[in-house]
Chain A
Amino acid sequence: MSRIQINGVTKQFGEVTALDAIDLDIADGEFFCVLGPPGAGKTTLLRTIVGLERPEAGRVLIGDTDVTDLVPSARNVSIVFQNLALYPDKTVFDNLAFPLRQGKEKVSSSEIDRRVRETAEILQIVPLLKRRPAHLSGGERQRVAIGRCLVRAPLVYLLDEPLSALDALLRLQMRAELKYLQRDLGRTLVYVTHDQVEAMSMADRICVLDRGHVQQVDTPDEVYNRPVNTFVATTVGMPPMNLVPVRVEGENGRVQLSAASFSLGAALDSRIERIAAHAGQELQIGVRPEDIRVGADAPEAALRCRVIAVEPLGGEAIIDLDLDGKIVKAMTPPDVEYRPDEVIPVAFDLSRIHLFETDGPSVYAADGTSAFAAVP
């Protein structure tokens, strides 16, 4: 009913290709997040689904209907813009009622009243109905914008970074509220953001977008633990995954990864074969900050690094380490006492490392088993 299919959609603005032959299949009732840096094409994708942009190539299907040639109001979708775009001269009630008053078929005013009030109740904004947007707080405006989206009971909801203008605190609250709301409504929701925490927290599946290309579409768990390339690996997760360059050597049935200050070795088996194909080349080890143990948690570690900085974040601490001239960040429990310039033992959790080619694609993910071991 509200499944969205995007088939080979390309959108260009003059010389710039905003979307490059995108293929997506968004399931009915899914909370689908599109994640990417500014300029990735996320807003363009949303606008193409809504119908405010026409693609140069490709088709858009909602439900089983090809909507590519339909005007926005005929597609039965609603959108919440990044800057909300509430009608400033109209009351909250009129803002919510506006979509109902535009249709070709006349909706009776009692029906309009009923539907507006129903929506207002769901979002808990009934006491605000007589106010103008200028007299609402950020969070209240947010809800009115979502209300305007809901009141038409569309097949699909599209939200363009709706929380980015809110205070950090409010954003946390709204994340949970949005998730509950979508669950209750049961419709497909496409949510665009550049904030990976939002995507991880709310999405059933995340689509990571970079410069008009889809990098990976998967559940948060997959995208986090089995990223297909360095872009996805460093986009999801804060602080970003550390990337450490190493040389690959393969001989005598073993594969060795060497950096200036450490080496890792593994016996050649089916999983390691792919790595051996890169013998003589450089690869990058990907390791997340929370998978690095330091100090007392890594007593037998042969690798020792100098502490550059310590960031106490309350619930945890981030330690910046100097590894062969590169900064590597490690996440530790909050109550640690390392000083800058101290040299401490550092160990990677080898059951959680990744290997990537220098220009991105993943070659190996440890996925819970340690095939590698440190070579002294």
Chain B
Amino acid sequence: MAEIQIQNVTRTFGRFTAVDDLDLVIEDGTFVALLGPSGCGKSTTMNMLSGLLEPTRGDILFSGEVVNKLKPGDRNIGFVFQNYAIFTHMSAFDNIAFGLKVRKHPAEKIQQEVHEVAQLLGIEEMLDRRTTDLSVNDLQKVAIGRSMITKPGIFLLDEPFSNLDAGFRSYMRAELKKLQRELSQTMIYVTHDQVEAMSMAEKIAIMDRGQLQQYGSPDDVYNRPSNRFVAGFVGSTTMNFLPAMLDHSGDDLVITLPIADSRPVTVHPRGAEDGSDTFTMGIRPEHIELVEPGSSAASLRATVTLLEALGPRNIVHLSSDKFLFRVAVPPTVRPRVGESVGLELDTRRVHVFADESGKALV
């Protein structure tokens, strides 16, 4: 059992609060991503989990036991860092075997286990090579092998793939996910890249400025963001945000946009209002469709300012009454700059955020 409980953990450095009252449960055997911009507190949280830092307040429990004071070496954790911390004077084999040698395992066992791990990672032929002869990509695998060999209950990875080129990165993501499933280890992965978090993690903990913003599955954080920060941070093409005015109509909310000739949008709330006066509407680029400017389906009109042809889809930039939109369209749709189009909003996918708290109402 390697369930991790982070109970109201706070970490301050002098007057600066790096982590603020973090409360999180990571179930045994899950792949969790700690996601957030630089400075959000994810690395600090990681350091507290590993034992390099102690929480200023609150407790961290592994399998029900408080480990705040436990030294990193005693916590049975595997680390993989960004700069892979490889021992350059040793061969690949020796690097991977290191943990076992330190624990004085018999030589035959070491041979067997290192080969097993190397096979799993696909680096068997490179075991005898010196680390200075290996490519960046293979070195990363050696680093992972080294942290795996002692069969830790928990794996902590801190942006391990940021030095790798894009193609290999996506390959390693798949490999890591496969590995985690096969070994059923608890894996905690720190990153600022939301694509990585979305593609690998079973649950994502999004942090900003020391505070937990949302903890949920990729589907949750993408389709039901709990606040404006999460909504704007997750998603390969940023969500469109516009100021909005709200009215009630029975149980529903009617959103009016401050754009001339726009039609109000009716939606059903899912969160409670908290007394804010001003609101923001959010909608993702792929939930808007381009239609004829005069069509009845269009909520508003806009003019095309830019076209980005990304390959599998195009992003159309539009402006309407000083507000800027981005709409994702299939690659065959290519409006010309200056064209006037109508925007149809998928009302089931509209979000509304209260400006003061950032919380999502819809």
> Which A positions have Cβ atoms within 8 angstroms of B?
37-38, 167-169, 172-173, 175-176, 179-180, 194-197, 200-202, 220-221, 224, 234-240, 288-290, 308-309, 311-315, 318, 320, 327, 331, 334, 340
B window 310-356: CB within 8 A of A: 310-312, 315, 317, 328
21 pairs from A and B in contact (CB 8 Å cutoff) = A38-B165, A169-B37, A175-B308, A176-B317, A194-B166, A201-B309, A237-B312, A239-B170, A240-B167, A288-B312, A308-B178, A309-B178, A311-B173, A311-B200, A312-B198, A313-B198, A313-B199, A313-B218, A315-B222, A315-B284, A334-B222
Chain A residue, CB-CB nearest to B310:
A200
- Number of A-B pairs, beta carbon distance below 8 Å: 99
Whole-angstrom CA separation of A179 from B316 in the bound complex = 13
Chain B residue, CB-CB nearest to A168:
B193
A168: chain B residues at CB < 8 Å are 192-194
Whole-angstrom CA separation of A143 from B339 in the bound complex = 30
Chain A proximity of B316: nearest CB distance (Å): 11
Query: Cβ of B262 < 8 Å from any Cβ of A?
Result: no
Establish whether residues B219 and A312, one from each chain, have CB atoms under 8 Å apart when the complex forms. Answer: yes
10 A-B pairs closest in CB distance: A311-B199, A314-B222, A201-B308, A290-B312, A312-B218, A224-B311, A200-B310, A237-B311, A220-B309, A313-B198
Establish whether residues A200 and B222, one from each chain, have CB atoms under 8 Å apart when the complex forms. Answer: no
A238: chain B residues at CB < 8 Å are 166, 170
B181: chain A residues at CB < 8 Å are 340
A311: chain B residues at CB < 8 Å are 173-174, 177, 198-200
Beyond A314-B222, A315-B235, A315-B286, whether A176 also contacts B306 by CB under 8 A is yes
Establish whether residues A313 and B178, one from each chain, have CB atoms under 8 Å apart when the complex forms. Answer: no
Contacts A308-B174, A312-B198, A334-B219 known; list 4 others, CB within 8 Å. Answer: A38-B165, A238-B166, A313-B195, A315-B237
Query: Cβ of B233 < 8 Å from any Cβ of A?
Result: yes
A237: chain B residues at CB < 8 Å are 311-312
Whole-angstrom CA separation of A202 from B309 in the bound complex = 8
Establish whether residues A314 and B166, one from each chain, have CB atoms under 8 Å apart when the complex forms. Answer: no
Contact of B238 among A169, A201, A309 (CB under 8 A): A169
Query: Cβ of B296 < 8 Å from any Cβ of A?
Result: no
B309: chain A residues at CB < 8 Å are 200-201, 220-221, 224
Chain B residue, CB-CB nearest to A327:
B174
Chain A residue, CB-CB nearest to B219:
A312
Contact of A172 among B166, B200, B237 (CB under 8 A): B237
Contact of B192 among A167, A236, A240, A315 (CB under 8 A): A167
Chain A proximity of B168: nearest CB distance (Å): 10
Chain A proximity of B198: nearest CB distance (Å): 5
Establish whether residues B306 and A179, one from each chain, have CB atoms under 8 Å apart when the complex forms. Answer: yes
Query: Cβ of B139 < 8 Å from any Cβ of A?
Result: no
Establish whether residues A320 and B174, one from each chain, have CB atoms under 8 Å apart when the complex forms. Answer: yes
Establish whether residues A167 and B37, one from each chain, have CB atoms under 8 Å apart when the complex forms. Answer: yes
Chain B proximity of A221: nearest CB distance (Å): 6
Chain B proximity of A167: nearest CB distance (Å): 6
Query: Cβ of B110 < 8 Å from any Cβ of A?
Result: no
Query: Cβ of B290 < 8 Å from any Cβ of A?
Result: no
Whole-angstrom CA separation of A290 from B332 in the bound complex = 13
Chain B residue, CB-CB nearest to A312:
B218
Whole-angstrom CA separation of A180 from B305 in the bound complex = 9
Query: Cβ of B63 < 8 Å from any Cβ of A?
Result: no
B window 183-227: CB within 8 A of A: 192-195, 198-200, 218-219, 222-223
Whole-angstrom CA separation of A327 from B172 in the bound complex = 12
Chain B proximity of A17: nearest CB distance (Å): 20
A288: chain B residues at CB < 8 Å are 311-312
B38: chain A residues at CB < 8 Å are 167
A194: chain B residues at CB < 8 Å are 165-166
Whole-angstrom CA separation of A318 from B174 in the bound complex = 10
Whole-angstrom CA separation of A376 from B118 in the bound complex = 39
Chain A proximity of B273: nearest CB distance (Å): 27
B232: chain A residues at CB < 8 Å are 169
Whole-angstrom CA separation of A200 from B308 in the bound complex = 7
Chain A residue, CB-CB nearest to B193:
A168
Establish whether residues A315 and B306, one from each chain, have CB atoms under 8 Å apart when the complex forms. Answer: no
Establish whether residues A196 and B178, one from each chain, have CB atoms under 8 Å apart when the complex forms. Answer: no
Establish whether residues B236 and A315, one from each chain, have CB atoms under 8 Å apart when the complex forms. Answer: yes
Establish whether residues B174 and A309, one from each chain, have CB atoms under 8 Å apart when the complex forms. Answer: yes
Chain A proximity of B232: nearest CB distance (Å): 7
